Amino acid sequence: MTSNADPGPSSGNGSAGVSGPTQSLWLRLLALSSAAGGAAIILAGIPAVILNGPDGVLSSTLGGLLVMAFFAISLLVGHFMGRNNPSGAIGMFVATYFVKVVGFAVVLFLIGAPAWLHGRWFLIGAVATVVLWQAAEIFGFSKARLQIYNDPEPKEPNNV
């Protein structure tokens, strides 16, 4: 049977399959986003090496890797906290975000910028990685199957 709004082929008589929740959502997102981040580093590195040589490609790669580390920490926290304490995962995301921002800032200020670092390519590598990483995460979340309701309990036959 089909909807009155869209005349189309008749639905089959077979039952629709049941699909459970996505297994290991956070690790799947980490793999997908890491691949996208790696592609961004390569895409940013090609013009960097052409225009500024090894220092340019190293700068863009460092910017991309820093972004990947920043986001990967969140996905790993989601994986481990979501498994053990799903209701506390959001609070851990907030705490982790604060620690990451402060931690990365302290590390960057303490280490400082090396003389070989090209700020322009560092920024281009970081921005390209953020854009492709986030696009991959959105795509991955859009394909995830999240179970909202509990499965129905099987009904016992009435012995009347």
Summarize pLDDT for 52-72 with one digit per residue, the tens. 999 999 999 999 999 999 999
User: What Cα–Cα distance (Å) separates residue 3 from each residue in 13, 42, 96?
Assistant: 15, 48, 47
Q: How far apart are CA 55 and CA 122, in angstroms?
A: 10
SS3 1: coil
**Averaged pLDDT for residues 100-124:** 88
pTM of the model: 0.73
Up-side HSE of residue 146: CA atoms within 13 Å toward CB?
A: 10
| Segments making up each domain of the chain, as ranges | 25-143
pLDDT digits (tens, 9 = 90+) for 23-50: 678 899 999 999 999 999 999 999 999 9
**Residue that the structure tokens 């399959």 belong to:** 17
